[in-house]
Structure 1
Amino acid sequence: MYTFNYDPKEHFLHGVIAIPARRALEKEKIDSLEKLSDYSEKEIMQMHGFGKNTMEKLKNHMKENHMFFKEL
């Protein structure tokens, strides 16, 4: 039943960061780590829902997946 309505974009970073931060990424159409790596930490930190704790969780998740933020 659940697989019928499954949308992988809806579950991007589910369990990694909180809903407000995920919604901010969704609003910017960031739905993959590849797209996320096109941004700098500074750019992401300016979005609603992002603070030091969320950024640390996000950076750790990206590092585990061999992805990194854009360097300025």
Structure 2
Amino acid sequence: MENYLNHPEVPIGLGMALAKNPSAMNYFSNLDADSQRRIIDQTHSVRSKEEMDSFVSSFSSGNSFR
């Protein structure tokens, strides 16, 4: 599995939230590039660390972003 957190296009807030949530990181890392881009695009409206943590937590609660 490639570590997508080292790619410059992953926003730092998203990368940090994913690093704290291994199941969400695994989910994100296994998505195709278009699905990852859609998630990254959604992060532009996130305004706080808590909001980002909640957004990332939703990956492991069964929400699909494809």
Which structure has the bigger radius of gyration?
Answer: 1
Tell me which protein shows more helix as a share of its residues: 2
Greater RCO (CA < 8 Å, at least 6 residues apart):
2
